[in-house]
């Protein structure tokens, strides 16, 4: 999409904006010339805190679905969990890091599906030992999946983009961290859901189910047999008085709301 001279010129423009709040906007413009996408989202993820949005910064440009993700669902998101799990910096497609049954989850059906996306490519940038920046470039049906050439262009420019984002964060982080909110209730909800009703192993399996892992995947993750997982899933439904994943999800949201109300 670009010749080398044009690339250098646009890199210089990005450098000129490093100390300015306009840098995220300029970065998205730069990336739009490396690959096609319909939507971009730049957020920072920090342990024990909710995501902070760097782009789009105008609340009017943030969809109701994005607000739902930020307020209620991010802890179940594959990208968030990949970062929490220590994924290496680089360029990855969401499909390559998602649990095998992600599209069957209530999070996907209730929230993520409403973004109407067919592909999402993410640039994962480590800002420091505590904070990670993710740049999500999403495509809808009319664009289809990212091409190999586009993906390679993102990989080629990633080292430069990562370096510039880190420099921007050094200058501008204080403008954003003042809005940090603890994600304590969210994480506590996932850990404590079913406490007193489910065994610790059943709680662990329930959390994996909510994140989108199939019985086979859960068996591999926990080093137990698929048959054992099936028994646990049956017991979970019996103890929670549920019969579907949707009903478990509804109970989880109610549990989360009760914890958030206790913190407020």
pLDDT digits (tens, 9 = 90+) for 56-94: 988 888 899 999 898 878 889 999 999 989 999 999 999
Element (H, E) at 126: strand 119-126
CB–CB of 240/198 below 8 Å? Answer: yes
Distance (Å, whole) CA 36 – CA 170: 29
Task: Please tell me the predicted confidence (pLDDT) of residue 197.
Answer: 93
pLDDT in tens, 16-36: 999 999 999 999 999 999 999
DSSP letter, residue 170: H
Burial class (CB in 10 A: 0-12, 13-18, 19+), 86: exposed
Report mean pLDDT in 10-residue bins for the chain, 264 residues.
Answer: 77 91 95 95 86 88 89 89 94 96 93 94 94 97 96 96 96 77 68 91 93 94 94 95 92 84 57
Task: Please tell me the predicted confidence (pLDDT) of residue 264.
Answer: 46
Q: State if pTM tops 0.75.
A: yes
Strands across the sheet containing 39-46: 52-55, 39-46, 131-139, 119-126, 90-93
For the chain, domains (ranges, CATH) are: 4-177 (3.30.450.80), 184-263 (3.40.50.2300)
């Amino acid at each position: 999409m670009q010749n080398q001279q044009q690339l250098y010129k646009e890199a210089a423009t990005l450098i000129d904006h490093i100390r300015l709040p306009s840098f995220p906007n300029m970065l998205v413009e730069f990336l739009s010339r490396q690959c096609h996408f319909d939507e971009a989202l730049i957020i920072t993820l920090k342990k024990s805190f909710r995501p902070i949005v760097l782009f789009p910064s105008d609340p009017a440009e943030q969809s109701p679905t994005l607000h739902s993700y930020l307020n209620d669902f991010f802890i179940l998101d594959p990208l968030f969990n990949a970062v929490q799990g220590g994924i290496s910096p680089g360029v990855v497609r969401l499909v390559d890091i998602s649990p095998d049954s992600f599209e069957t989850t209530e999070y996907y059906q209730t929230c993520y599906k409403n973004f109407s996306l067919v592909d999402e490519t993410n640039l994962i940038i480590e800002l420091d030992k505590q904070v990670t920046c993710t740049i999500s470039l999403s495509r809808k049906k009319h664009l289809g999946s990212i091409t190999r050439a586009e993906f390679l262009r993102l990989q080629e420019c990633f080292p430069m983009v990562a370096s510039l984002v880190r420099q921007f964060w050094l200058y501008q982080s204080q403008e954003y961290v003042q809005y940090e909110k603890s994600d304590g209730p969210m994480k506590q909800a996932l850990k404590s859901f079913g406490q007193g009703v489910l065994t610790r192993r059943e709680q662990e399996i329930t959390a994996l189910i909510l994140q989108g892992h199939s019985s086979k995947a859960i068996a591999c993750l926990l080093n137990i047999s698929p048959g054992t997982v099936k028994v646990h899933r049956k017991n979970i439904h019996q103890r929670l008085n549920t019969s579907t994943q949707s009903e478990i999800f509804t109970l989880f949201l109610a549990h989360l709301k009760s914890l958030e109300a206790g913190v407020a």
